[in-house]
Every structure is written in structure tokens, then in C-alpha cells.
Amino acid sequence: MRKTGLSTNMEHPKKYFILGLLSICFLQLKNKVMAQSDVKNPFQKIKSIPPALQTLPFYAVQPSGWLKMELQKNLNGFTGHLDSLVPDLILNDAIYGAKRLSKQVKSKNLGAISAEGDWQVQFLWWNSETQCNWLDGYIRTAILLNNKKHIAKAGKIVDALLATQDKDGYLGIYDPELRYKFDNENGELWAKTTLLRAILGWYEYKKDPQVLIAIERAVDNVMKAYPIDQSSPFHTINPNAGGLTHGLAFTDVLEQLAKITRKNQYIDYCLFLYKDFSKQVINEDAQYAKLIDPSISLMGHGVHTYEHFRSVLAAYYASGNPEMKNALTNFLRKIENVTTASGGPVSDEFIGGRKGNGLLGYEFCSLHELMIGWIDLLEKSADNQYAEKAEHIFFNAALGNTHPTESAICYLKQDNSFQLTGGNNGDTTDKHQTRYRYSPVHKEAAVCCIPNAGRIVPYFIQNMWMKDGQGLVAALLGPSILNTSLSNTPVSITETTEYPFENIFAFQIAAKSPIRFTLKIRKPQWAIAVKSSLPFKEVNGFLVFDQVWNQSSKLVIDFTSEISKKFTVDKEVYFQNGPLVLCHEIIASQQITKSYTIAGLHESTYQAIQPISYQYSNGQYTPKPNNCCSVWMTNPISGKQELLVLKPLARTILRQVSFKTIP
């Protein structure tokens, strides 16, 4: 996740070379796009647009069923233990406190393989991301599982971090001689982003006003140091400044704080940050002038591009400016072009102008960042296609990247995984490449994906239910329990389902006293028929139930799916059943390459017993039980047709998802 600038320099010469090429491409594009950006003022605020849906405070939605089991697996494994798995990066580096970065710091253990490089102390922000993205997932997981021991531990960590706040409100990783005085790579805003996202989650659970005051003071300290329209927080003399540009995600903190406090100044500051980010000479795809030119493909570091998507959304909704809407529309098209069948976007660190295909890797961090982007757009637009995209990436790419039984993920994985031995499908060109394999840490590459693997499940859960002006909206479907109130009447809804592995839902609605409101259940776009135990109207892709709900109302919904044949961006065929992308699972042998002292935690590689890339020649396909389907495929080695059974991609290790078509 943090493989630009310094990190590239410090690690793999090959990647540094690629970055150099990308820089040249970006700089060649710069003159062309800068000229276009001057035509109108896209950053002018016209009228901010309120979100169409309202998210609920963290902890209003709790998991049940398989989602709860997934969280428990994480808490028993990497999320519950990452601090002790990499104590040098988390426990022994008080980067926000006693070990803040100062001119006296000469080196820092950052986990990854490092080498001599042309760096400055302000570059050494990495451990702040590792610590706080881990903490964010850890806090949310502990709370959602109501695990008292882990909640108490999370509380102590939060208290210790809040105790580092200076009198002027500063919370961060730099001592006074460095802070806010940069003209190059730094982690000022990014370190605050990861920290404050975690603390906001804690505040929403604890509701302690002192915590909110501390967050506001920290944000106000930034806004004072970087005054709106009179400063340049993204200024850098080096166009490759990964920590600096990660800092645009500070809009996450600002938007959440605006929701809690209802203060518009935080929303306006989002627009300012995006404006300043767009002004700079930096190698980032999400700059306005690049977005409005549809001929410029996504080139940059994938995880930046996908997290910046939310900042562009924030800027558009803050400004209500149609010029910004054009940029957003183009961004959506560009992301579409790099997306694979599973929903994973190309991001084997860099996108590099490539289109999505089954053999290109996606980073786990990118899956989390893009999923949150889709949820953000759903919240702002109420357009149910974005709920579909969020579910798609989570149920397919993310669950297909997570080890089915062990607590481990791949840092990089592809839809068509024929080998997971370190390099992409067995590639050994880069001896340092270890990302395509399972680990609960991935310390050799960077400890970025594991923290985000601990965030993706709770973030999905907390956004399953939202509100609109009329009532409640089941936006993302799955087993959950909602506790909220409408017009001061407590309402709880228990959603019982095996979805996405089955498409039947039982909702138990319990209002403390009878109350009329609309209950909207998202109708998935793949549903070819709906059975419902109560009458409904279908409006804008939602089933709308408008009635009086009492203490034990019940609703059962059954969506019918069918097997559909689809095409990837590069015209390969894949199959989908309802929400689940299907694959040919390849039998593999596991080699455990390292075991940790915590029971069940391993690093491992997988080799196919018989890797064959099948081809499709318009053969028949037939539905089979358990979401499977049988399809006639051509074995290119024997030249013969074979009947393959395709199964859901979720929870597979080696597999082929997309198939070249042959006449």
C-alpha cells in the first residue's frame, strides 16, 4: 500500500525503474491536461449536495451468521494478534508519542526489505499506517463481537494515543521542528487519517464527549496550520510522494466528523484539499485535470487511485459543481476499464495503463479501498448499482483472496490463480516478490494488507443498513442485527440468511410500539423474480414496504437467480450465479513455509497438481446445486472437450475464473 517514492527507492530496483517510466508518462501528459483545467473553475462551490442516504453510527448494525464467524476468525488470527506478530512496527514504535519523528531520528525499522536510499526522516511514516489501520480494524472487530477483553485492550491503546495530543491540539507523528513544514514526501495528513478513522470508530461506540473534543481539536489544528485557500498541504518538489498523497484520504475523517457534528466547515475543507491536490505536479490519477481527459488511462499506484475516488466524491458533493461531476463520471469509466470479473481492480502495486484481466494482480488494500468507495457513492446517490458493486468486490474478490480456513490472505492475487508461490503465477523474475502467497503478516512486502483485511469485514457490516427520509434501507444484504430508532421509537431488525450463498431472507422487525415507516430492501440487479410474504412496490431498484410495524412483524423474501454468461473487459467469458462469480477450482498442494507461535498461523504457498488454462467454445452450461454450474470447456493440451463444474470463487485458493473464447 505504501510502495511509492521512498519505498520504491528503498526496495526493489525493478519497481523503481517502472516508476521512472510512469513519471515520464505523467509529465508528458501534464502540459496537455493543465491547459484544459484552466477553462472553467471546477472547484467553485455552487451548492453542496446532501447525501441521499444516511449511514448509521458504527455499532448500530451487528453481524450474525457467517459474517460473525468471519470476524471471529480474524480476531482469533491476524487481527487479534498483529501487534505481537510485528512488535517492532506496532508495540515498540510509539511514533505518535515518545518516538515522534524529529531531525534526530536517523533510521527506523519499517518491516520491509530496505536498502540505502536518498531519504529524509520525514519519509518514515510507514509504521503509523500499519499501527492505525490495524487499530481501526481491531477496534471495530472487538466491538462488533462484543469481546470484553479486546475492547478493554483497544480502549487502553486509544487512551494512550489521545494522551499524546499536544496543548495546541496536534496529534501526529512529527515533532514541532518538522510538522507542517514540508516540500517533499511526508506522512503528516496520512498518519492523522489512519489514527482519526480508528478513534472515530471508538467514539461512535463509547459516545465519550472528551474523545470527540480531542478529534475536533486535532482536525482544527490541521485547518489552522494549513488554512483554506492560503496554504498548500500537497506541495512537493518530488512528484512521487506516496505518503503525502495518501493524505488526501483525510477527507474520510472530515466527512465523518461533519456527519457527527453537522459542521459544514469540514465539508468545505474536503473541497480545498482536493483543489490543492489537483494543483500539484504529482503522479496521481485522481487529479482533476487527468480525470476530465477520458484519453488518460489510470497509471498510478492502485491503492492511492482507489482511495482517492472517495475524495473526488467528497469534493463533488461538497461543491455541487457539474464540472466536478464530469470528472467523477470519467473516473467511474476508468475504474470500470481496470476491473476484473471478481470486482478486483488492477493494482499489483501500479495500474500502469493496463486493462483488467484475469492474470493481473490486485492488492488486498485496493479491494478494501474500492469497496468503501462504492459504499460511499451508494450513500451519496442511493443508486443501488453501487451497492451491487460493493457486494460484488466483497463476496468475490475479497472472499476469494482470503484463505478459506486459516487466518491469512494474499497481498496480491489474481482471478486466474494457477500458482501461489510468491511471483505472479509462478513468475520468478523478481526474486524479492513474495506477495502472491498466503501470510497473516506479509512483512517482507509491507504490513499494509493485513490491517486492511481486518477492516474490510467490519466496514461492510456497519454499512449494511442505512436510513432515508422515510425509514430504513437494507442496502447491503447479509446476516445482521440492526438496532436503531425512528421518531424516538426503538426498532430492531434481525436479518437471517446465508446470503450470498443462498438468496432467501427472513426479516424480524421489532418496534417498541407500533410505528409506520417504509422498509426498503435492495433488489439485486441479477434477481429475475421476487417472492415476498408482504405486499410491496418496486421503486428505483428497491422493494418498498410501507406499513405499520409492530413488536413482532415478519417478512420473508426470496430472490431467484440464474446462471449468466458474462464478459470481462478483455472479452474473456465468465459465469455468475446471482451475486457469486464462479470458477474452475484447481486442485493444489500446500507448502507451509513458516509457522508462527500463535496456533494456526502460517505462511504458505500453493502449487497446482495439474494447471490447465481451459478455453470456452460456446458450450452448454447447466445449473447444479450449491450455486454451481457445469460447462463444457476445451482442454488446450488434449484438444478435447471436458465437462467442468464451476463453483463460487469465494473461499477458493487456486482457480480459473475467466476463459479465452475459441471458435
Instruction: Please state the separation of Cα 555 from the chain's center in Å.
Output: 32
Q: Which is nearer to Zn ion, 246 or 523 (CB)?
A: 246
Comparison of 70 and 307: residue with beta carbon closer to Zn ion: 307
Q: Which stretch binds Zn ion (CB under 5 A): 305-313, 374-382, 443-451, 607-615?
A: 443-451
Shortest distance in whole angstroms from residue 412 CB to Zn ion? 9
Rounded least distance, CB 244 to Zn ion, Å:
18
Cα 351–Cα 356–Cα 361 angle in degrees, nearest 5: 65
- Alpha-carbon torsion (336, 337, 339, 345), positive or negative: negative
**Residue 143 near Zn ion by CB under 5 A:** no
Contact 8, 19 (CB under 8 A): yes
Q: What angle do CA 188, 58, 411 make, to 5 degrees?
A: 55
**Residues from 207 through 266 that contact Zn ion (CB under 5 A):** none
**Pairing between β-strand 489-496 and β-strand 537-539 as defined by DSSP bridges:** unpaired
629 binds Zn ion (CB under 5 A): no
Which has the closest alpha carbon to 93: 173, 24, 182? Answer: 173
C-beta of 312 vs 441, nearer to Zn ion: 441
- The burial class, CB within 10 Å (0-12 / 13-18 / 19+), for 542 is buried
Nearest approach in angstroms of CB 447 to Zn ion is: 8
Shortest Cβ 304–Zn ion spacing (Å): 11
- Cβ-based nearer residue to Zn ion, 2 or 259: 2
Q: Which of 204, 285 has the CB closer to Zn ion?
A: 285
Min dist CB 545 to Zn ion, Å, is 41
d(CA 284, CA 331): 13
CB of 453 to Zn ion, least distance (A): 9
Are 591 and 604 in contact by the 8 Å Cβ rule? The answer is yes
Question: How far apart are the C-alpha atoms of 186 and 656, rounded to whole Å?
Answer: 41
Considering the complex, what minimum distance in angstroms separates the CB of residue 348 from Zn ion?
11
How far, in whole angstroms, is CA 308 from its chain's centroid? 11
Stretch that binds Zn ion, among 9-17, 59-67, 153-161, 448-456 (CB under 5 A): 448-456
Between 1 and 189, whose beta carbon lies closer to Zn ion?
A: 1
| Shortest distance, position 101 Cβ to Zn ion, whole Å | 22
The Cα 35–Cα 411 span in angstroms is 39
**Residue selected from 95, 249, 273, 365 as contacting Zn ion according to rule CB under 5 A:** 365
CB of 472 to Zn ion, least distance (A): 34
Give the nearer residue to Zn ion in terms of CB position, either 363 or 603.
363
Part of the chain binding Zn ion (CB under 5 A), chosen from 63-71, 92-100, 104-112, 442-450: 442-450
**DSSP letter assigned to residue 404:** S
373/578 with CB nearer Zn ion: 373
592 phi and psi angles, rounded to 5 deg: -80, 120
Work out whether 543 is an interface residue with Zn ion (CB under 5 A). Answer: no
Q: Closer CB to Zn ion, residue 362 or residue 616?
A: 362
Record the cell numbers describing residue 143, joined without a space.
Answer: 466491538
CB 580 within 8 A of CB 627: yes
Quote the cell numbers at residue 283.
503522479
What are the backbone angles phi and psi of residue 295, rounded to the nearest 5°?
-80, -10
Q: Give every CB contact of residue 364 below 8 A, 6+ residues apart in sequence.
A: 398, 401, 409, 410, 411, 412, 413, 449, 452, 453
- Per-residue string for binding with Zn ion, 493-512, x by CB under 5 A? --------------------
What is the spatial distance between Cα 659 and Cα 646, in angstroms, rounded to a whole number? Answer: 12
The C-alpha cell of 443 is what?
A: 512483512
Closest distance between Zn ion and the C-beta of residue 631, in Å?
Answer: 34
61 binds Zn ion (CB under 5 A): no
390 Cβ neighbours under 8 A, 6+ residues apart: 371, 374, 375, 378, 460, 463, 476
Stretch that binds Zn ion, among 14-22, 414-422, 440-448, 538-546 (CB under 5 A): 440-448
* Non-local CB neighbours of 37 within 8 Å, separated by 6+ positions: 278, 288, 289, 292
User: With binding defined as CB under 5 A, does residue 367 bind Zn ion?
Assistant: no
SS3 462: helix
Closest to Zn ion by CB, 410 vs 509, is 410
Which of 33, 178, 449, 650 is close enough to bind Zn ion by CB under 5 A? 449
* CB environment 408-426: b (16+ within 10 A), e (fewer): bbbbbbbbbbbbbbbbbbe
Q: Is residue 370 involved in binding Zn ion (CB under 5 A)?
A: no
State residue 93 phi and psi, 5-degree precision: -130, 90
Contacting Zn ion (CB under 5 A), which of 258, 448, 649, 654?
448
Neighbours of 218 (CB within 10 A): 23
Nearest distance, CB of residue 118 and Zn ion, angstroms? 24
Query: Which of 130, 186 has the CB closer to Zn ion?
Result: 130
Least gap, CB of 449 to Zn ion (angstroms): 3
The H-or-E segment that residue 172 falls in is none
196 versus 441: smaller Cβ distance to Zn ion: 441
DSSP structural state of residue 553? E
Binding string to Zn ion for residues 395 to 434, with x set by CB under 5 A, is what?
A: ----------------------------------------
Distance CA 76, CA 85 (A): 13
Q: How many residues bind Zn ion (CB under 5 A)?
A: 5
Least distance CB 450 / Zn ion (angstroms): 8
The footprint of Zn ion on residues 304-363 (CB under 5 A) is: 363
When asked if residue 82 is in the footprint of Zn ion (CB under 5 A), the reply is: no
Comparison of 345 and 579: residue with beta carbon closer to Zn ion: 345
**From the CB of 303, what's the least distance to Zn ion, in Å?**
6
Q: Which residue number, 1 or 543, has a Cβ lying nearer to Zn ion? A: 1
By beta-carbon proximity to Zn ion, the closer residue of 369 and 379 is 369
Q: Is 34 exposed, middle or buried (0-12, 13-18, 19+ CB in 10 A)?
A: middle
Contact status: 1 vs Zn ion (CB under 5 A): yes
Min. distance of Cβ 448 from Zn ion in angstroms?
3
Q: Does 491 bind Zn ion (CB under 5 A)?
A: no
Binding site for Zn ion (CB under 5 A): 1, 363, 365, 448-449
